[in-house]
């Protein structure tokens, strides 16, 4: 969450920055007013407690001297009730402030482009030119169904729409991509993690999924449990309420998990195929970095994510997302967009983001530069390394052949054991 000190000392800057996301953030003036009331009440409570302590000492002294303390006792009798009432008022105000801050997005980095939606995202670079096909291009779901490696109809019978059965070499390709990505990232210094698939309410709140995006999550019958929406949630929360060793920074994790999303608000969008499903595999990159190095680590993470598509030899581009398109908890985000031949366009396959200290404040993750130093909030970064299902889409479509077979990318042959899916 945003540091309340920033709102207290420079509210105009905060509102101006957040307005670049679109929307009205003038309610933060109310937060500033509540913060002033909170600090005033704290001062009153401290004064009353001091008065009570001073008079308690006075009463004790009078009793030791066997003198009458009635008058002093009467003068202190009301203090307890006053302190209780003020504490109750303070708790209510602090809850209001917290609710406001939990629903307020992160401040944007200075180099985030202006714009209200993805049309204003700025292209940073491209890799490879799209292949020129000499035959009619088929979509991945057509290829998958014809080859009997993807089965959407039976998945719909078993679970519902936006699910899939991976079968035969389709299942092997999914597994090969997971293993390839995890092997690649661990050689780059990331520690491998397979986190829980279920996370609690505190974890979802810490990374920014709650309370703002509750409708996007799959909530379990236990009111405190949610199906994991991305490996970012459990992996960031691995260090919740901890003070990290500065000498070990940056901490780098590559985390594989199955992810679950309700896809609220996506009715009618990408209803066929693997682009937008309720359940999907994902390899995530997570970094915990010191504030002065987090921007460099963002660039490093972007390069590590790009390496997946470079080794697969699939065209992609990188865009710097505009203010209106940057995620709620993030200060800056690059999107990697892979070329999808059947759609004749680039589609997002991974987001690489720097949350700076926003998630760390919510999760209380700090570090100390030395044993005696004051704890500081860490910077958290996360990125897709990559979304496995969408990578499989890119492989099927970019490596399709006229006869309906799929040439296996050279880097995946050791994982697949075959050169062609047919």
Q: Quick check: is 340 in a domain?
A: yes
pLDDT tens digits along 332-366: 999 999 999 999 999 999 999 999 999 999 999 99
Q: What pLDDT was estimated at residue 71?
A: 81
Q: Which of 175, 240, 276, 317 is catalytic?
A: 276
| 89 & 199 share domain | no
We report the CATH number of the domain holding residue 75 as 1.10.287.40
- Among 76, 102, 128, give the residue marking a domain's end: 102
Query: Following DSSP, what letter does each residue of 164-225 receive, concatenated?
Result: -EE-THHHHHHHHHHHHHHHHHHTTTPEEE---SEEEHHHHHHHT-TTTTGGGS-B-SSTTE
| 89 & 224 share domain | no
- Among 102, 129, 157, give the residue marking a domain's end: 102
Q: Quick check: is 346 in a domain?
A: yes
- pLDDT of 142 strictly over 70: yes
Q: Which of 21, 162, 172, 261 is catalytic?
A: 261
| 251 & 296 share domain | yes
Q: Which of 82, 118, 263, 348 is catalytic?
A: 348
Q: Which of 255, 342, 390, 397 is catalytic?
A: 390
Q: Quick check: is 24 in a domain?
A: yes
| 98 & 130 share domain | no
| 36 & 185 share domain | no
| 126 & 96 share domain | no
| 47 & 172 share domain | no
pLDDT band at 267 (very low <50, low <70, confident <90, very high): low
| 46 & 178 share domain | no
| 341 & 373 share domain | yes
| 409 & 310 share domain | yes
Q: What pLDDT was estimated at residue 63?
A: 81
Q: Which of 255, 351, 353, 384 is catalytic?
A: 351
Q: What pLDDT was estimated at residue 23?
A: 94
Distance of CA 241 to the CA centre of its chain: 17
Q: Which domain holds residue 38?
A: 4-102
- pLDDT of 69 strictly over 80: no
What mean pLDDT value characterizes the chain? 95
| 98 & 131 share domain | no
Average pLDDT on 39-59 reads 91
Contact (Cβ atoms closer than 8 angstroms) between residue 121 and residue 127: no
Is-catalytic flag, 261? Answer: yes
- List CB contacts of 27: < 8 A, sequence separation 6 or more: 100
Q: What pLDDT was estimated at residue 264?
A: 67
Is-catalytic flag, 276? Answer: yes
- pLDDT of 255 strictly over 70: yes
Q: Quick check: is 113 in a domain?
A: no
Q: Quick check: is 111 in a domain?
A: no
pLDDT tens digits along 166-188: 999 999 999 999 999 999 999 99
Is-catalytic flag, 351? Answer: yes
Is-catalytic flag, 362? Answer: no
We report the CATH number of the domain holding residue 269 as 3.30.930.10
* Percent above pLDDT 90 for the chain: 89
Q: Quick check: is 110 in a domain?
A: no
pLDDT tens digits along 373-411: 999 999 999 999 999 999 999 999 999 999 999 999 999
Strand runs (DSSP E) across 273-368, as ranges? 279-289, 316-320, 332-340, 345-356, 366-368
Nearest C-alpha neighbor of 279 from the set 156, 192, 385: 156
Q: Please tell me the total count of domains within the chain.
A: 2
145 secondary structure, DSSP code: H
Q: Quick check: is 108 in a domain?
A: no
How many Å apart are CA 63 and CA 235, to the nearest integer? 59
pTM, to two decimals: 0.93
| 89 & 193 share domain | no
- Among 102, 128, 148, give the residue marking a domain's end: 102
Q: Quick check: is 109 in a domain?
A: no
């Amino acid at each position: 969450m945003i540091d309340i000190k920033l709102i207290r000392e420079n509210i105009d800057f905060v509102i101006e920055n957040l307005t670049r996301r679109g929307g009205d953030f003038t309610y933060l003036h109310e937060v500033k007013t509540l913060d002033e009331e909170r600090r005033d009440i704290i001062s009153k409570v401290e004064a009353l407690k001091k008065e009570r302590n001073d008079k308690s000492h006075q009463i004790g002294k009078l009793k030791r001297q066997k003198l009458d303390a009635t008058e002093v006792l009467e003068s202190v009798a009301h203090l307890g009730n006053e302190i209780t009432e003020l504490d109750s008022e303070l708790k209510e105000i602090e809850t209001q402030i917290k609710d406001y801050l939990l629903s307020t997005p992160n401040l944007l980095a200075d180099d985030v482009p202006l714009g209200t939606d993805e049309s204003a995202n700025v292209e940073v670079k491209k890799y490879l030119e799209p292949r020129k096909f000499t035959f009619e291009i088929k979509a991945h779901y057509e290829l998958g169904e014809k080859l009997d490696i993807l089965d959407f109809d039976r998945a719909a019978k078993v679970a519902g729409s936006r699910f899939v059965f991976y079968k035969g070499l389709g299942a092997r390709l999914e597994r090969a991509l997971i293993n390839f990505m995890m092997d690649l990232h661990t050689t780059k210094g990331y520690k491998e993690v397979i986190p829980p698939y279920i996370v609690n309410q505190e974890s979802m709140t810490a990374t920014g999924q709650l309370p703002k995006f509750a409708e996007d999550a799959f909530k379990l019958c236990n009111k405190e449990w949610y199906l994991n929406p991305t490996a970012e949630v459990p992996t960031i929360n691995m260090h919740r309420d901890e003070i990290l060793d500065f000498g070990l920074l940056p901490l780098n994790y590559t985390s594989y998990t199955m992810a679950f999303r309700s896809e609220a608000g996506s009715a009618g969008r990408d209803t066929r195929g693997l682009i937008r499903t309720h359940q999907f595999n994902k390899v995530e990159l997570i970094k915990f970095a010191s504030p002065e190095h987090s921007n460099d680590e963002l660039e490093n993470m972007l390069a590590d994510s790009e390496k997946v598509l470079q080794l697969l030899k699939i065209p992609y581009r990188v865009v710097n997302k505009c203010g209106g398109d940057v995620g709620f908890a993030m200060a800056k985000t690059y999107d990697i967009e892979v070329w999808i031949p059947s759609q004749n366009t680039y589609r997002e396959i991974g987001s690489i983001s720097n949350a700076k200290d926003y998630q760390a404040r919510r999760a209380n993750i700090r570090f100390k530069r030395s044993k005696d130093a004051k704890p500081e909030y860490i910077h958290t970064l996360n990125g897709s390394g990559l979304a496995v299902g969408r990578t499989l889409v890119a492989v099927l479509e970019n490596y399709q052949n006229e006869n309906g077979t799929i040439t296996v990318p050279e880097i995946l042959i050791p994982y697949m054991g075959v050169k062609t899916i047919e």
